[in-house]
Amino acid sequence: MFVAIFLVIISLAVLIAGAETLVRGSASIAKKAGISPLVIGLTVVAFGTSAPELVVNLISAFKGSADIAIGNVVGSNIANILLILGVATIVYPLSVKKSTVWKEIPFALLAVLLIFTMGNDAFFDGSSFNAITRTDGFSLIAIFAIFMFYAFGIAKTEGSAEDVKTYSWRLSSFLTISGLILLFIGGKVLVDNAVILARLAGLSESLIGLTIVAIGTSLPELATSIVAAYHHQNDIAIGNIIGSNIFNVFWILGVTSTILQIPFSPSINIDILVSIFATLLLLVFIFVGSRHKLNRWQGVIFILLYISYIAYLIHRG
């Protein structure tokens, strides 16, 4: 047990180092290439910080741990908005681009709505079982391909990063790749040992997936968004969160379900509704107070809501 606690602490330090390295490298690439930091956040950074979720889901699928696989995706999406975006907004109020408001956030909302419709076969189709099937998985991946086409389509139209320290192409690439590797290693080690500690404490698989695993695999996003907010890289901070939510559903859940059909427990519908609520609340907050800007008081509300959600999960068991 003491070894697991020690590895959790070390992995947190690795995550912070990886986030700092990734933000510096990716922001430099965006500036030098004239690509929008938002696109970098939606693609490169989001893909890298979502790597732990992908690893956990693939392992869970092969082990037949469906509750962890789906709970990880839904729980991570909730944590990304209520916890991570909340903390990042407290660190530094974040401006939100118009394209993010009207395109990327609705796309993230579509993602979680699709989990609800695809998973509830018994309700919508009268089937005898609920599952995210291989057919559903291929559909999710197809939609993900459309999103990537859109993201690269706006790469040159949003403008490049300002007030960013640039490095050589070689060093920028090295920093970005090194940051991704550190985030992957740190996230993997942390989740593995957090799950060990949770099981020793007697927590259920569903609760582990929605809390320990979800928060653990979201730590790369947390570290990256906090560092990006600290450096006033708004587009990377927000793009990372929204991009990760899109990646989690369309790519990670899509790939996982094409490998192995994932049974869907109706009990997770409540958590999906929380994810839908969090995404809608984000849209509302963008228009409340300072238009197209998230303020610190809104970040506090996000965090309080997340604490309430975790308290509910613990009470639910």
Instruction: State pLDDT tens for residues 73-110.
Output: 898 899 999 999 999 999 988 888 777 777 888 999 99
- Give the pLDDT of residue 65: 67
Between CA 110 and CA 311 the distance in angstroms is 27
Task: Report whether pLDDT(269) > 80.
Answer: yes
Q: Judge whether 253 lies within some domain.
A: yes
CB 108 within 8 A of CB 247: no
Question: In sequence order, which residues have a C-beta less than 8 Å from that of residue 312 and are 6 or more positions away?
Answer: none
Helices first, then strands: H and E counts in the chain = 17, 4
Task: Report whether pLDDT(10) > 70.
Answer: yes
Q: Judge whether 23 lies within some domain.
A: no
User: What mean pLDDT, rounded, does the chain reach?
Assistant: 82
- Give the pLDDT of residue 254: 92
The boundaries of the domain holding residue 153 are 36-161+202-316
Higher pLDDT, 300 or 265: 300
Q: What is the CATH number of the domain that holds 275?
A: 1.20.1420.30
- Where do we find the tokens 């409540």? 270
Q: To the nearest 10°, report the CA torsion of 168, 171, 172, 176.
A: 180
Q: Judge whether 31 lies within some domain.
A: no
Helices (H), 43-166: 46-49, 51-63, 66-78, 86-91, 98-99, 105-119, 121-125, 134-153
pLDDT-above-90 percentage for the chain: 25
Q: Judge whether 227 lies within some domain.
A: yes
Mean pLDDT of 266-274: 91
Between CA 107 and CA 17 the distance in angstroms is 31
Q: State the CB neighbour count (10 A cutoff) for residue 201.
A: 9
Residue 166 backbone phi and psi in degrees, to 5: -105, 150
Q: Judge whether 181 lies within some domain.
A: no
Specify the 3-state DSSP secondary structure of 272. helix
Q: Judge whether 182 lies within some domain.
A: no
CA proximity to 24, closest of 172, 160, 158, 155: 172
- Give the pLDDT of residue 298: 93
Q: Judge whether 22 lies within some domain.
A: no
- Give the pLDDT of residue 161: 47
Between CA 269 and CA 289 the distance in angstroms is 32
Kindly report, residue by residue over 205-230, the tens digit of the pLDDT. Answer: 667 767 777 777 777 778 888 888 88
Least confident range of 125-134, 212-221, 231-240: 212-221
- Give the pLDDT of residue 35: 75
- Where do we find the tokens 């606690």? 5
Task: Report whether pLDDT(158) > 70.
Answer: no
Specify the 3-state DSSP secondary structure of 174. helix
- Give the pLDDT of residue 317: 64
Task: Report whether pLDDT(249) > 80.
Answer: yes
Q: Judge whether 59 lies within some domain.
A: yes
Token pair for residue 280?
A: 């809608």
How many residues does the structure list for the chain? 317
Token pair for residue 96?
A: 């939100």
When divided into structural domains, the chain yields a total of: 1
